[in-house]
Amino acid sequence: MAHRVAAVAIGAGILLASCTPGPPYTKPSVPAAPAFVEQEGWKAAQPGDGQIRGKWWELFGDPQLDALEEQVAPANQTLKASEANFRQARAQINANRSNLYPQISVNPQITANRISGHSPTGLVGYQYGNFVLPVEVSYDADFWGRIRRTIANAREQFQASAADLENVRLQVQTELAVDYFEARSLDAEKQLLDDTVTAYQKALQLTQNRYEGGIASKAEVVQAETQLDQTQAQDIDIGVARAQYDHAIAVLIGKPPEEFKLARMPLKNNPPSIPVGVPSVLLQRRPDIAAAERQVAAANEQIGIARAAFFPDLLITATGGFQGSSIVNWLTWPSRYWAVGPQLSETIFDFGRRRAQVEIAQASYEAQVANYRQAALTAFQEVEDNLSTLRILEEESSKQHEATIAAENSLQLSLNRYKGGLVTYLEVVTAQGTALTNERTEVDLLRRRMDASVQLIKALGGGWTIAQLPQG
């Protein structure tokens, strides 16, 4: 009879386990334009380059950057911490999945007992042994899907952790690229200032020669010296920021700053052509958006878990083993015992605690939906921002190049007029300052274009897609 009761209870548990209270999950909608507004006028990528793939930094064609980026994954400590969180989330799935199966435990005991000489039982001074070898089996029938939703929640958290890991990886990679191009732009500026110092030294020598020949005044020599000293100071000051970028890159690739030195190489190449695609595809390419969407799915499972608390919980237990009074009769057939049966538990009244838990889960879900939509809108904004930045800076760079050429021509004319005695050295100083300002501005514009290119790639999700999420 007991066997039939247990079998009926188990069968009912399996049959009812398909009943899972809670809303089915549907990915929240996000409004997306058919195309990026700022893409109009942006140079098109080559045919077939509809999406960034693989090692995105190779678009820049810089072997030294390629070598540095390859060192990020195995050595960056921030990335290692994110990888550890990812492994933790993966292990949590298996921990929750184990609750689907019966739990088996043993608790053997061997005791010697003597009843008190003053015991009211009448067994005064009686001694006996107790040898027990119990095996206990318990199984949660999971009528309402609480365990299965907990597993699903862990799986979605695992996928969110995987997307977070890729987002951290992309952030570290782009930070390295930005620091690299910042250092290279400083190298270009240093080269420019070095050349300017050499030119100013020649101009000072010219002024001194004219002063010694009685053609120029002492004031003109002082002006030339001042211009040279100021430029040398600016040249030296470049070293402060340059050293800081060396240190930043060292930390990103997992090295102490004193063990790394980036060889100097001026920034010269123009930014690459970057395939942009359409806004709707962006939702599949950004790891931070994927992480936010997986958090929405996990929050949806929490609603089902909270609602399952309103329904009874069936626990099926079975205990069996051997119990004897001595080692001789402990493991004999007459010493066997067993017990099996279902246990049903239900909270009758909790003063609104379960209802409050459902409301908490529902509010958390709505917050995650808002976070997901905000992440998507922010992604659209970042792409638009960097597209407009690149387009405008490209136009500005073209005009700035023309201004730089004009300033250099003006400086040469002023020097020629000064050598011919037609103007004072003040005109040369003014032309020198104007030319240097324009040249430095042109270098800075190239730096900003390279940084915006890196940021655009980051805004597009690098070479990642949602298809790379693990299934768990």
CA distances from 2 to 136, 318, 342, 405, 465 (A): 16, 11, 10, 99, 55
**3 state SS of 204:** helix
Q: How far is residue 346's CA from residue 305's CA, in Å, rounded to a whole number?
A: 15
Domain of residue 207: give its range. Answer: 20-100+142-311+353-468
**347-358 as b/e, with b when 16 or more CB fall inside 10 Å?**
eeeeeeeeeebb
105 domain residue, yes or no = no
Residue 149 belongs to what H/E stretch? helix 146-212
Residue 156, both tokens: 């979605």
d(CA 325, CA 110): 9
Residue 35 has a pLDDT of: 79
In a domain, 209, yes or no: yes
Looking at residue 61, its pLDDT comes to 93
As a whole number of Å, the CA-based R_g of the chain is: 38
Q: What is the pLDDT of residue 277?
A: 79
Evaluate whether 249 touches 225 at the Cβ level (below 8 Å). no
Q: Which residues, in sequence order, are CB contacts of 183 under 8 Å at separation 6+?
A: 242, 245, 246, 249, 262
- Specify the 3-state DSSP secondary structure of 260: coil
Question: What are the structure tokens assigned to 211, written together?
Answer: 């002063």
Category of 128 on φ-ψ map: left (φ > 0), alpha (ψ -120 to 50) or beta: beta
In a domain, 133, yes or no: no
Is 348 within the bounds of a domain? no
pLDDT, position 279: 85
Residue 339 in any domain: the answer is no
- The verdict on residue 32 lying in a domain is yes
Domain count of the fold of the chain: 1
Q: Which of 322, 341, 342 is nearest to 333 (CA)?
A: 322
Enter the pTM of the model: 0.85
Q: What is the pLDDT of residue 43?
A: 54
Q: Which residues lie closer than 8 Å to 327 by C-beta, 6 or more apart?
A: 129, 131
Identify whether 44 is part of a domain. yes
Taken in order 357, 362, 367, 369, the sign of the CA dihedral is positive
pLDDT for residue 10: 47
Structure tokens at 199: 């030119």
377 lies in a domain? yes
Q: What pLDDT sits at residue 276?
A: 85
**Which pLDDT score, from 0 to 100, does residue 45 have?**
44
Compute φ and ψ for 141, nearest 5 degrees.
Answer: -70, -15
Tell me the C-alpha to C-alpha distance, in Å, between residue 88 and each of 293, 321, 471.
Answer: 20, 37, 15
pLDDT for the residue 16: 47
Which CATH number covers residue 195?
1.20.1600.10
pLDDT along the chain (472 residues), means of 10: 46 51 87 77 48 85 96 94 95 93 93 81 76 93 90 95 96 97 97 95 93 90 94 96 97 94 93 86 91 96 93 92 90 91 89 94 96 95 94 95 96 91 90 95 96 95 90 78
Q: What is the DSSP letter of 25?
A: P
